[in-house]
Structure 1
Amino acid sequence: MSRNAIIFHGTGGHPNAVWYPWLDRQLTARGYRVERPHYPGVNVEPIAEFLPKVLAGHTFDAETVLVGHSGGAALLLALLDHLPGPVAQSILVAGYAVRPTGAEEPVLQEVYDWDRIRANAGDLYFINSITDPYDCDADQGRLMFTHLGGTQIVRDEGHFGDWNQPYDTFDLLDQLID
């Protein structure tokens, strides 16, 4: 088996935005096969309709590292809830499990099987900020950590990249990925 990584962008995002291309280059140089899919339907289509496309579009196995940012991190919760087996590592950046702003969040499931997610997540990290403008903040990270364990990392770095927040590199992610 070869190591592979899948980097999921957030709501309204693109795989060539913020730190995604940089992380792709870092991991590729270390021997990973990296995917950065473009999913304009993330957090637009209801998760029950959207998730089967994502599950069918990739291979998930014990050598897979999953990285999700914002809506992509919320997508990881649903993925991990429905995978047939575990991945090596899951990193949720500015992730959330409940509506962060009161707005509709079609990427969220009504309920989660936390035990199944924990069993499938591998080495699990939550990276959230105390200053996230979308409320994908440290409280959201704590909620997921409380349900799943793993490692919670709290920073003071906004949304870790956004239309108005340049964030071209993310050394912490490179260090966390085995």
Structure 2
Amino acid sequence: MRRNAIIFHGTGANPGVAWYPWLGRRLTERGYTVEIPHYPGLNAEPIATFLPKVLANHAIDENTVLVGHSGGAALLLAVLEHIGTTVSQAVLVAGYSTRPNTGEEPVLQPDYDWAAITAHAGDLYFINSRQDPYGCDDKQGRAMFERLGGTQIIRDDGHFGDYGQPYETFPLLDRLIH
């Protein structure tokens, strides 16, 4: 069976930082076709104009695993709402569905069709930290979990990779993705 994975980086990041290259290699070794696109407009361009570009760039089907970190996880909510298929898995790392701090968050939609998101996600995981410096914390994960179901995993691991927090591997993700 053909399997593919798309890993969306966080706000201000790129495909070469944190655990993204490591996870890409691990999944490739396991037979996945992996995309780790670079989206410099993530959380800078309004989601209404940004999302159509993202959807046009990727073939997403029932054999797809979506992984998003921080702003990339917030992007996954919009992707899941607007695709016409159900993906195998979606993993939101340090994700959020409302403003996590006082900064602008153009990646967020004004509201979400939670039923459509649920319908388009097979296994759904939320991984958040109680100690996230940006507010993408366990409370944000809980708010999404309560609306969507799935599995919530809470750690004490900061932002799971950031400029001051090298996070070059993420074995939990490798174990969760089947």
Say whether 1:54 aligns with 2:66. no
User: SS state of the match for residue 13, structure 1?
Assistant: coil
Aligned AA for 1:173? L
Partner of residue 140, structure 1: 140
Alpha-carbon shift at residue 102 of structure 1 (Å): 2.2
Question: For 1:157 and 1:103, how far apart are their aligned partners in 2?
Answer: 22
Partner of residue 86, structure 1: 86
Say whether 1:29 aligns with 2:33. no
Question: For 1:108 and 1:174, how far apart are their aligned partners in 2?
Answer: 27
The TM-score, its normalising length taken from structure 1, stands at: 0.99
Alpha-carbon shift at residue 122 of structure 1 (Å): 1.1
Alpha-carbon RMSD across the aligned residues, in angstroms, is: 0.5
Q: Where does structure 2 lack aligned partners over 5 or more consecutive residues? A: none
Aligned AA for 1:150? G
Q: Runs of at least 4 residues of structure 1 off by over 2 A?
A: none
**Which digits, 9 at most, give the CA deviation of each residue in 1:131-165, with x for residues without a partner?**
00000000000000000000000000000000110
Identity over the aligned pairs, expressed in percent? 69
**Which digits, 9 at most, give the CA deviation of each residue in 1:98-147, with x for residues without a partner?**
00002210000001000000000110000000000000000000000000
Alpha-carbon shift at residue 85 of structure 1 (Å): 1.1
Aligned AA for 1:140? Q
Partner of residue 99, structure 1: 99
Q: Where does structure 1 lack aligned partners over 5 or more consecutive residues? A: none
User: SS state of the match for residue 31, structure 2?
Assistant: coil
Question: For 1:3 and 1:85, how far apart are their aligned partners in 2?
Answer: 15
Give aligned pairs, total.
Answer: 178
Say whether 1:19 aligns with 2:19. yes
Alpha-carbon shift at residue 51 of structure 1 (Å): 0.2
